[in-house]
Amino acid sequence: MIETGSQRPVNARLILSLGDLRGSYELLLDELEGKGFSRRLREKDPLLWSDTSEAAELIPNALGWYDVPAEMQAEIGELEAFASEIKDAGFTRVVLLGMGGSSLAPIVLSETFGSAEGYPELIILDSTDPAAIKRVAAEIDPAKSLFIVASKSGTTVEPLSFFEYFYNIVSKVKGRDAGRNFIGITDPGSYLEGLSKEKGFRRVFLNRADIGGRYSVLSYFGLVPAALIGIDLERLFSSVASMVEASTKDGAERENPAVQLGAALGALALKGRDKVTFIGSEGLESFGLWIEQLIAESTGKEGKGIVPVTGEAVPGPQEAAAAPAYGEDRVFVYTYLKSAQSARFLVDALRDAGEPVIEIELGDKYDLGGEFYRWEVATAVAGAALGINPFDQPNVEEAKLLAKACLEKMGGGNDEGAKAEGLPGKGFTLSFGAETGKKIGRPDDIGAAIRGFSGLIGGGFYVGVLPYFDPSDKMLEGPLTCIREVVGRRCAVATQFGYGPRYLHSTGQLHKGGGGKAAFIIITHARGAKSDDAEVPGKPYSFWDLEFSQAMGDMAALDAKGRAVMHIELAGVKASSLKEFCKLLETNL
């Protein structure tokens, strides 16, 4: 067991229990120290990751996250002044319209800290499901709501569609002054910057262009929402500053808490322990959402990748005491508050059973600031160990292009390409991707189809359950959890879970660019009544059209990559239909 700390008050402790894999970790640390990793990271040397001309151009312009904390710390006073302006203006809700790196960090900050007394509530919209759009519209008072349109590129289809929808609503209340209820966060010179000027946004925050979305939590993308809900940024940055000091010293890789974490992840992945399973304690449950994107999108490419697993059910004390059965492809990460260790029984059982366990103990929730930075550096380290460029996302565009092609067929309520053809079940239809179907053959009933799909899932696989519903629909949580649990247990594999289209901006790169040992179950719902849909103003398609096209585009991209992919389309958004499907999985997997 290795316990690490720092001479400055880094309150978070890193404890590595690596068992017989410790030797591999030590060798990688030696290698990193020998190549001067910390110094070369500071110098933005692309050869740490790749020797291609493309990497030489991209990487030095993708490392702004490394030194942005000092720049943003100097902006704290300005951010707090803006937050006071918004509070004094009478805004009661802040609605963030974003995807991926623009939304996941704010989700973590909001769910971990909540809104301070007297500050607006933060609502985050990162779903194109019509029910999610209409739910948010019903919850807010348009006149008293501030909308954050967040997009690095400024052209991301989801936040721009959200903007058109809510700008239309606010305009009906405030007329030409509607723009005063909107702010933007984007890169300089983007389409969104121009739009913000055209529409008279209250303010636009121009972020550094050399920071990728998944590395943007300590930039305006994370800190503007944090300030608006009254998070103590000085206290948060005290943790950040301590971690930066401990993680950026030249020639001290063995004492560097971020390099140690990255070396552990990289060394274990190279030994086949590539399913990083996160166990969180009370108050930190959502932290895995942010890490999931950071790891998956950074490392999942060139047929390699570290697979983040978040939100799997935690066994009870009796089951844990019996050494819960996991595959030999796992490493466990337990991030917990010192005052809250509800899963300690499981972590101790795993360690005692010889499983590799990484523990990170936080003094309090403000230590998350330092953890954001630690994980960014650690991911860069793990990328170097795997021999991939952790700052690009080469496979993301594939699904976007296929979704666009599908969407072009469906505008104006046209259902061409929107009908799922397959085997009928109770309240749903089951089908497969074209290539997956060829492998399975032509089963004549759903049971045989599920068994055929199960036959494509082997050792070392993971299975992703990917539903396209409103993430806040509590009625669906139980059945969806059941589906995930049954798949993991019956197939003896790690499982991922991600709502679409959110996962497309998170784990989607890994799904298509990572290793081929993966299978997916995409779950959608059929077009409902017109009153159940939501129109995208100025576009020939609705939000249902957009959501369904995104699901089908990703299904086609996964299938073309040789991934096993099943599609379940519900006739209506009903928990009972999901329960019926779960029963069939229990019987036939």
Residue 565 main-chain phi, psi, to 5 deg:
-140, 130
Which CATH number does 2-53+251-386 carry? 3.40.50.10490
pTM score of the predicted model: 0.95
Q: What is the pLDDT of residues 291-329, one digit of tens each?
A: 999 999 999 999 999 999 999 988 776 676 565 578 899
Average pLDDT over residues 171-188: 97
Determine the residue type at 534: A
Res 322: pLDDT: 61
Residue pair 356/19 in contact (Cβ under 8 Å)? The answer is yes
The pLDDT value given to residue 324: 58
Q: Return the higher-pLDDT residue of 416 and 503.
A: 503
The pLDDT of residue 1 = 41
Q: For residue 442, name the pLDDT band (cuts at 50, 70, 90).
A: confident
- In angstroms, the Cα distances linking 424 to 420, 430, 564, 582 are 10, 6, 20, 15
Q: Taking all residues of the chain, what is their mean pLDDT, rounded to a whole number?
A: 93
Phi, psi dihedrals of residue 584, rounded to the nearest 5°: -65, -35
Average pLDDT over residues 121-131: 98
Average pLDDT over residues 141-147: 98
- Decide whether 68-235 matches 396-588 in CATH topology: yes
Cα–Cα distance between 333 and 277 in angstroms, integer? 6
Q: What is the pLDDT of residue 7?
A: 46
Residue type, 120: P
- pLDDT score recorded for residue 3: 42
Query: What type of residue sits at position 295?
Result: I
CATH fold of the domain at 68-235: Rossmann fold (3.40.50)
Question: What pLDDT is attached to residue 528?
Answer: 86
258-274 pLDDT tens trace: 999 999 999 999 999 99
pLDDT at 5 over 50: no
Domain coordinates of the chain in residue numbers?
2-53+251-386, 68-235, 396-588
The torsion of the CA quartet 55, 59, 62, 68, rounded to 10 degrees, works out to: 180
Stretch 177-196: mean pLDDT, rounded?
98
Give 417's DSSP letter.
T
CB atoms under 10 Å from CB of 9, counted, come to 11
Measured distance CA(346)–CA(323) in Å, rounded: 8
Closest CA to 15 of 380, 362, 372: 362
Quote the pLDDT of residue 6.
Answer: 43
Homologous superfamily of domain range 396-588: Glucose-6-phosphate isomerase like protein; domain 1 (3.40.50.10490)
- CA 32 to the chain's CA centroid: 28
Name which of 147, 145, 230 is nearest 185 in CA terms. 147
Query: Tokens at residue 62, please?
Result: 């993708």
Show the DSSP H helices in 150-219 as ranges: 157-174, 191-199
Q: Which pairing describes strands 357-362 and 564-570: parallel, antiparallel, or unpaired?
A: unpaired
